[in-house]
Amino acid sequence: MKRFPKNLLAGYREFMAGDYTHERERYLDLAEAGQKPETLIIACCDSRAAPETIFNCGPGELFVVRNVANLVPPYEPDGNYHATSAALEFAVQALKVKHIIVMGHGRCGGIKAALDPEAKPLSPGDFIGKWMSMLRPLSSKLKDYTALTAGERQTALERISIRHSLENLMTFPCVKILVEKEKITLHGAWFDISSGELWVMDRGSGDFIRPPI
139 and 61 within one domain = yes
List CB contacts of 194: < 8 A, sequence separation 6 or more. Answer: 106, 107
Give the confidence band of 10 by pLDDT, cuts at 50, 70, 90.
Answer: very high
Q: What is the DSSP letter of 91?
A: I
Q: In this structure, are residues 179 and 186 in contact, taking their beta carbons and an 8 Å threshold?
A: yes
Q: Is the pLDDT of residue 93 over 70?
A: yes
50 and 123 within one domain = yes
| pTM for this model (two decimals) | 0.96
Q: What is the pLDDT of residues 153-169, one digit of tens each?
A: 999 999 999 999 999 99
Instruction: Give me the pLDDT at residue 87, please.
Output: 98
Q: Total structural domains in the chain?
A: 2
**Coil, helix or strand at residue 188:** strand
User: What would the mean pLDDT of 184-204 be, rounded to a whole number?
Assistant: 97
168 and 204 within one domain = yes
Tell me the pLDDT of the chain averaged across its residues: 96
Domain of 12, in residue numbers: 1-34
Q: What is the pLDDT of residues 139-151, one digit of tens each?
A: 988 877 888 999 9
Instruction: Give me the pLDDT at residue 115, please.
Output: 93
Amino acid at 105: H
125 and 101 within one domain = yes
